[in-house]
Amino acid sequence: MTRQKILITGASSGLGAGMARSFAAKGRDLALCARRTERLDELKAELSQQYPGITVAVAALDVNDHEQVPKVFGELSDELGCLDRVIVNAGIGKGARLGSGKVWANKATLETNLVAALVQIETALEMFAKSGSGHLVLISSVLGARGVPGVKASYAASKAGMRSLGESLRAEYRRGPIKVSVIEPGYIESEMTARSNSTLFMVDNATGVKALVDAIEREPGRAAVPWWPWAPLVQLMRILPPPLTKFFA
């Protein structure tokens, strides 16, 4: 089944913008949102020029403004006619070692990556329930597999929470009509990874986005991307003694 009308949150940079370019190249119509609207306008101009046959709708959205999420999703859906796939991608990588006194950083990450993701999930499910079908994609992380020491503890918790919500939904909708995929990227070049010290098996944006989009199109229950080396490494992470998880963070 081709999911023609795709909404992506956090589409102004990194994986979100990369996925938008990749789906546009496949002829899909796009609804793109983020806070930096000038980036979205530039992306819309680029895609509309390159692929004149597709529709690209853009909107300002801070996912932490919970009342705005259903409003903006609804407006974008109206502009495209409906939504066949929603990719919950907006996220941040702020964080501090637990107990270091910077609760604001850890709280911000859990609020954006998990609480705001929940609001996007609830909104997408309501829309899909009305239209009768849809594909919900949750961009988690390989770090959702295990708790890690240091500055990424709350980030890992936020992504584990997302993975858990995805698992619950897969049980909830095991007979359809809504499909749910949890995608767990390894390290892929983006603005987020540019601000981080972790480069473990890092791939460039184009390689990572291709793996991401190929996985999304297969509509798996869950997938680590790129498959190599991350699918086996995620299995390894689950059984490692806690102190050794630091090598992945």
Ligand X SMILES: NC(=O)c1ccc[n+]([C@@H]2O[C@H](COP(=O)([O-])OP(=O)(O)OC[C@H]3O[C@@H](n4cnc5c(N)ncnc54)[C@H](OP(=O)(O)O)[C@@H]3O)[C@@H](O)[C@H]2O)c1
Q: Catalytic site residues? A: 155
Which residues 46-65 are close enough to bind ligand X by CB under 6 A?
61-64
Is 190 among the residues that bind ligand X (CB under 6 A)? yes
Task: Please state the closest distance from residue 132 (CB atom) to ligand X, in A.
Answer: 28
Q: Which is nearer to ligand X, 91 or 161 (CB)?
A: 91
Is 226 among the residues that bind ligand X (CB under 6 A)? no
Is 109 among the residues that bind ligand X (CB under 6 A)? no
Tokens of 202: 């890092």
Write the DSSP string, 130-185: HHT-EEEEEE--GGGGS--SSTTHHHHHHHHHHHHHHHHHHHHTTTSSEEEEEEEE
* Binding window for ligand X (CB under 6 A); candidates: 44-52, 79-87, 96-104, 188-196: 188-196
Q: Which is nearer to ligand X, 34 or 127 (CB)?
A: 34
Query: 158 and 138 in contact (C-beta within 8 Å)?
Result: no
Rama region for 29: left / alpha / beta (φ>0; ψ in -120 to 50; rest): beta
Within 13 Å and on the Cβ side, how many CA atoms surround 52?
A: 1
Q: How far, rounded to the nearest angstrom, does the alpha carbon of residue 36 sit from its chain's CA centroid?
A: 17
Task: Please state the closest distance from residue 116 (CB atom) to ligand X, in A.
Answer: 6
Which residues 166-185 are close enough to bind ligand X by CB under 6 A?
185
Q: Which is nearer to ligand X, 72 or 83 (CB)?
A: 72
